[in-house]
Homo-oligomer: A and B are copies of this chain.
Amino acid sequence: METLGWIAFGSIIAAGLCMGIGAIGPAIGEGMALSRALSSIAQQPDETNTIVKFLFVGMAMVESTAIYCFVLAMILLFANPFWSYFLEKAGG
């Protein structure tokens, strides 16, 4: 397998593992926040608006770590600088 193939192979494996492992943390973190928010709403219904507003802002922040992983996986697949270089070299 030539170099171009190894770069593609490595990018596919790295993207898959990065997204797979990186989805564990955010999902559990958001689940904890969400579960606590819902029981807080039940205890303090008057504060629903405040709690929900900051819940979603906060979850967006937690989600950001998952998005970093997704962005990195997308970069590895669609905007991989190493792939571009070797592609250009192979095509030259």
Q: Give residues in A with beta carbon < 8 Å to B.
A: 1-48, 50-52, 54-59, 61-66, 68-70, 72-73, 75-78, 80-83, 85-87
Contacts and interface: CB of A to CB of B under 8 A. Distances in A.
B41 A43 contact: no
A26 B32 CA distance: 11
6 tightest A-B CB contacts, nearest first: A29-B31, A14-B16, A25-B27, A40-B42, A8-B82, A35-B36
Given A24-B24, A28-B25, A58 B61 contact: no
A58 B72 contact: no
B23 A38 contact: no
A40 B70 CA distance: 32
